[in-house]
Amino acid sequence: MRARLVTAVLFGVVTAGVVVVLGEPIAWAGDGSGGYSSTSGAVEASGGTLTVEAGVTTWTPPSGSHWARAAQADPPSGKPNPNQPYGCTYSAGGPSATAAIGVGGPQPGQWVFPVCAGPGVIDPMPPFWVTGAQPPAAVVAQVNPVVVALQAVRQLGLGSPTIEMAPPTGHPQLVGVATWLWIDPGAWKMLTASASAGPVTTTATAVPTKVVWDMGDGDTVTCAGPGTPYDPNDPNATTDCSYTWPGPGTFEVTATIYWSVSWSAQGTPGGGNLGVQAGPAAGVAVQVVESQAINTAGPGAG
Query: What's the pLDDT tens digit per position in 239-277?
Result: 999 999 999 999 999 999 999 999 999 888 889 999 999
- The pLDDT > 70 percentage for the chain reads 76
Asked whether the whole model's pTM tops 0.75, one would answer no
Read off the pLDDT of residues 205-231 as tens digits, 9 standing for 90 and up.
999 999 999 999 999 999 999 999 999
Helix (H) or strand (E) holding 12: helix 7-16
Could you tell me which CATH class the domain 145-289 is placed in? Answer: mainly beta
Domain locations along the chain: 7-134, 145-289
Cβ neighbors of 9 (< 8 A, separation 6 or more) are none
- Least Cα distance to 154 among 211, 195, 214 occurs for 195
> Rounded mean pLDDT of 18-27?
30
Give CA–CA dist 281/302, Å, rounded.
58
Please give the pLDDT value at position 177: 93
Residue 82 has pLDDT above 80, yes or no: no
Lowest mean pLDDT among 17-21, 103-107, 147-151, 218-222: 17-21
Please give the pLDDT value at position 54: 59
Please give the pLDDT value at position 79: 72
More confident residue, 93 or 31: 93
- Mean pLDDT, the chain, rounded, equals 79
Residue 81 has pLDDT above 90, yes or no: no
Give CA–CA dist 22/128, Å, rounded.
9
Tell me the H-state helices in 145-289: 145-154
